[in-house]
Amino acid sequence: MNTYQSLVEYCGEHNTTLVAVSKTKPNSAIEELYNQGQRIFGENRVQELVDKAATLPNDISWHMIGHLQTNKVKYITPFVDMIHSGDRTPLLKEINKEAIKSDRKIDVLLQIKIAEEESKHGWDYHQLQDQLSNNLVGKFENINFRGVMGMATFTDNETQVSQEFKSLRLYFDEIKTNYFSETASFDTISMGMSGDYKLAVDAGSNMIRVGSLLFGKRN
C-alpha cells in the first residue's frame, strides 16, 4: 500500500474526510492522486486555485484553505466547494454577496484561532461568540455554515498541540449547541495536517488537510 492508500484507509476507519493539499504542486501530481480516486483537493492561493480548476477534471471538489482577501472572493465563488478560512465578518459578507451572484450556496467553515502564535489567522473565539450572538448566521443566506477550522501551533510539543485541537473541538460543540442544533449540516471539524493529523483525529477532527505527506516537501 502506498502512502495515499494508507491514509485513505486510516480516514475510512476514523470517519474522517481527506483534503489533499496540492498547493505549489503541478497538475500532474494532482492527476496522479485523482487517478487513485481522490476527489477533494485544497489550495491556499486564489490564482493557483482558479488556474488548476480550469484545467483539471470537473468532478474535483475544490477547497479554499488559505487566508482569503476580500477582493479575490469573486474569482472562486462560481466553483469552490468549501471555504475553510471564514475568519471575519467582512469576508463572510463578500462571500455571501458573490454567492448570490453565482446563484449558489457555499459551504464555509469558521476558522478559529487556537495556536499561540500571533501570525495565525482566525477568529478570536470570544469575538466570534459576540458576532454569533448578534445573529451572524442569519445575515448570510447564501452561506451554508458547515463547521469550524483551526491550525495548531507549529511545535514538537504534542501535549500542547493536542490541547489546542481539543479546544477547537469544545468550541465546535458549544457553537453547535447554541446556534446550529437544528442544522444537521453543521458537522465539520477541519483540523490536522501532515505532522499532527493523528492528534487532531484523536481530539475529534473529521476533516484533515494533508499536503507534504502525500505530495512531498514544498519548496
Ligand X SMILES: *Cc1c(COP(=O)(O)O)cnc(C)c1O
Minimum CB separation of residue 190 from ligand X in Å reads 8
CB nearer to ligand X: pick between 82 and 151: 151
Give the separation between CA 84 and CA 63, rounded to whole angstroms: 7
Is 67 within 8 Å of 79 (Cβ atoms)? no
Site for ligand X in 135-164 (CB under 6 A): 151
Helix, coil or strand: residue 11: helix
Supply 24's cell numbers.
505549489
Residue nearest to ligand X according to CB distances in the complex? 211
Render the burial of 74-85: b for 16+ CB within 10 Å, e for the rest.
eebbebbbbbbb
- The greatest distance separating any two alpha carbons of the chain, rounded to the nearest whole angstrom, comes to 50
Site for ligand X in 157-196 (CB under 6 A): 193-195
Site for ligand X in 4-23 (CB under 6 A): 21, 23
CB nearer to ligand X: pick between 20 and 136: 20
**Mask for 28-47, x = binds ligand X (CB under 6 A):** ----------------x---
| Residues at the site binding ligand X, with contacts judged by CB under 6 A | 21, 23, 44, 65-66, 151, 193-195, 209-213
